[in-house]
Amino acid sequence: MQITIVAVGKVREPFVKDGVNTYRSRLAPCHTLTFIDLPEERIPANIS
Protein backbone atom coordinates (compact mmCIF):
# COMPACT_ATOMS: atom_id res chain seq x y z
CA MET A 1 0.00 0.00 0.00
CA GLN A 2 1.25 3.49 -0.86
CA ILE A 3 0.75 6.09 1.89
CA THR A 4 1.42 9.77 1.26
CA ILE A 5 1.51 12.20 4.16
CA VAL A 6 1.36 15.91 3.36
CA ALA A 7 2.49 18.34 6.06
CA VAL A 8 2.23 22.11 5.86
CA GLY A 9 5.17 23.89 7.46
CA LYS A 10 8.16 22.52 9.31
CA VAL A 11 7.84 20.35 12.39
CA ARG A 12 9.40 22.43 15.15
CA GLU A 13 8.68 20.50 18.34
CA PRO A 14 11.12 17.69 19.17
CA PHE A 15 8.39 15.38 20.51
CA VAL A 16 6.47 15.70 17.24
CA LYS A 17 9.61 14.84 15.25
CA ASP A 18 10.08 11.77 17.45
CA GLY A 19 6.46 10.74 16.83
CA VAL A 20 6.84 11.13 13.06
CA ASN A 21 10.01 9.03 13.08
CA THR A 22 8.32 6.32 15.17
CA TYR A 23 5.31 6.31 12.85
CA ARG A 24 7.61 6.09 9.82
CA SER A 25 9.64 3.21 11.26
CA ARG A 26 6.55 1.19 12.22
CA LEU A 27 4.86 1.50 8.84
CA ALA A 28 7.92 1.25 6.59
CA PRO A 29 8.28 -2.58 6.64
CA CYS A 30 4.83 -3.24 5.18
CA HIS A 31 3.95 0.02 3.34
CA THR A 32 5.62 2.50 1.03
CA LEU A 33 5.65 5.90 2.73
CA THR A 34 6.08 9.28 1.11
CA PHE A 35 6.30 12.44 3.20
CA ILE A 36 5.71 15.76 1.45
CA ASP A 37 6.55 18.95 3.36
CA LEU A 38 4.90 22.03 1.89
CA PRO A 39 6.20 25.50 2.76
CA GLU A 40 4.11 27.45 5.23
CA GLU A 41 2.43 30.52 3.77
CA ARG A 42 1.80 33.46 6.04
CA ILE A 43 -1.61 35.10 5.89
CA PRO A 44 -1.33 38.88 5.54
CA ALA A 45 -2.70 40.94 8.43
CA ASN A 46 -4.84 43.05 6.06
CA ILE A 47 -7.09 40.69 4.10
CA SER A 48 -9.76 42.40 2.04
Q: What is the pLDDT of residues 4-48, one digit of tens each?
A: 989 898 888 999 899 989 988 998 899 998 989 899 888 888 876
Domain assignment of residue 34, yes or no = yes
How many Å apart are CA 32 and CA 24, to the nearest integer?
Answer: 10
Domain assignment of residue 28, yes or no = yes
Q: How many CB atoms lie within 10 A of CB 25?
A: 10
Domain assignment of residue 43, yes or no = no
What is the reported pLDDT for 9?
87
Domain assignment of residue 46, yes or no = no
What is the reported pLDDT for 46?
81
- Count of domains observed in the chain: 1
Domain assignment of residue 25, yes or no = yes
Domain assignment of residue 47, yes or no = no
Domain hosting 13: range is: 2-38
Q: What is the pTM of this model?
A: 0.62
Using DSSP's 3-state secondary structure scheme, residue 39 falls into coil
